[in-house]
Amino acid sequence: MTTKKDLPTMLQGWADAVRRSTCDLANPYALVLELGRAFVPQPEPQGVKWGKKKRCYDNAFDLLGLHPTLTYCEGFVLAGPALFPVEHAWCVDEAGNVVDNTLREPGVGYFGIPFDSKWVVRKVGSGADSLVDQLLLSKKIPKTAIAKPYRR
């Protein structure tokens, strides 16, 4: 049975596969492993309105706007019957618990990058969708991008 502890190992396998490829591909798996961390899944969050299905980036951004004490995250989730890493966005509370207003059944494991709220608003306001993709395209990690409590 696949567990949340398997998610970093799976991401490492995908990162290694991208590195070994002959294409010059951006490697979101390696970036998330480098800058991210595991977060604690929890059942349906209380007092949080569900967003639209398959709109996790918009849903998490909207959730951040309604609950500014949350932190916006992007990375990968193990969810559904297949249990393989899927790109996803969610928020976390001050204790690091996942607040996911997209998946009706919480994922088994979440591993992602916690972003600074001001940086998120600036990037999304300028038209960005996936912030992980923005970091990969810029090839430079701004010091202000990662949320303060989670910076290394």
Structure confidence at residue 78 (pLDDT) = 93
pLDDT digits (tens, 9 = 90+) for 25-61: 578 989 999 999 999 898 877 889 899 999 999 999 9
pLDDT for the residue numbered 129: 82
The pLDDT of residue 136 is 85
Give the H or E element holding residue 62.
helix 56-66
Question: Which tokens is 86 given?
Answer: 């899927």
What parts of the chain have a pLDDT lower than 50? Answer: none
pTM of the model: 0.84
Write down the domain spans for the chain: 6-150
Q: Which contacts qualify for 104-108: CB closer than 8 Å, 24 or more apart?
A: 104/44, 104/50, 105/79, 105/80, 106/41, 106/42, 106/43, 106/44, 106/79, 107/4, 107/41, 107/77, 107/78, 107/79, 108/2, 108/3, 108/4, 108/7, 108/41, 108/78, 108/79, 108/83
